[in-house]
A and B are shown apart, each in its own frame.
Chain A
Amino acid sequence: CHVERCSDEYESARQDLGIDGPGPHDNTLMCTVLRTYRHCMITTPGCQGEISYYSLRSIVRRLMDEHNCTTVGQTVEPSETKPRPPMVPAICLYKGKPVYRHCSLFGD
Chain B
Amino acid sequence: PHIRTFYEEAQTCKVKGAWPLVNNDYLIVQVTNDPVEGNTDATATSKLTVIVKGNPECTSANFQTYQAQSNSLPGTFENGHVTYGPYGSLELIEVEPGRHVEIHIRYIETVVIVRQIGRYFTFSIKMPEELVNKTAGLPGDVSNDLDLCVRGCPLSEQINYQEYLAKRRFARPSQTRTSVSSSSSSSSSLSDSSDAKYSSDGNSPGEPLVSRAYAEKVCRASKLVDFYFDSCVFDLMATGDENFTLSALSSLQDVVKFHPSAARTMDNRTTLDLYDKQYGN
Contacts and interface: CB of A to CB of B under 8 A. Distances in A.
Contact of A103 (B4, B89, B131, B232): B4
A93 interface: yes
B110 to A, nearest CB: 8
B104 to A, nearest CB: 12
Given A100-B258, A101-B132, A104-B251, A92 B89 contact: yes
B237 to A, nearest CB: 11
Interface stretch (B116-124, B173-181, B271-279): B116-124
Given A103-B4, A108-B36, A92 B57 contact: yes
Contacts of B38: 108
B140 interface: no
A93 B6 CA distance: 23
Given A91-B58, A92-B107, A97-B129, A104 B255 contact: yes
Contact of A107 (B22, B89, B251, B258): B251
B18 interface: no
B3 A100 contact: no
A100 B126 contact: yes
Interface stretch (B41-49, B75-83, B92-100, B183-191): B41-49
Contacts of B250: 106
Chain B interface bracket (under 10, 10 to 19, 20 to 34, 35 or more):
35 or more
B251 A86 contact: no
Interface in A3-36: none
A100 B129 contact: yes
A100 B259 contact: yes
Given A92-B58, A94-B108, A106 B259 contact: no
Given A92-B58, A93-B107, A106-B248, A101 B126 contact: yes
Contacts of A94: 106-109, 128
Given A105-B1, A106-B251, A108-B120, A97 B128 contact: yes
B254 interface: yes
Question: Interface centre among B21, B130, B250, by most A CB within 10 Å?
Answer: B130
B235 A107 contact: yes
A99 interface: yes
Given A86-B86, A94-B108, A108 B4 contact: no
A104 B259 CA distance: 11
A106 B128 contact: no
Interface in B113-153: 120, 122-132, 148-149
A89 B57 contact: yes
Interface in A60-108: 86, 88-89, 91-94, 96-108
15 contacts: A89-B87, A92-B87, A92-B107, A96-B128, A97-B128, A99-B130, A101-B259, A102-B254, A102-B262, A103-B4, A103-B149, A105-B3, A107-B1, A107-B122, A108-B43
Instruction: State the 5 A-B residue pairs at the shortest beta-carbon distance, nearest first.
Output: A103-B149, A92-B58, A106-B251, A106-B122, A108-B44
Given A99-B130, A107-B248, 9 more contacts: A89-B57, A94-B109, A102-B6, A104-B122, A104-B251, A105-B31, A105-B45, A106-B250, A108-B43
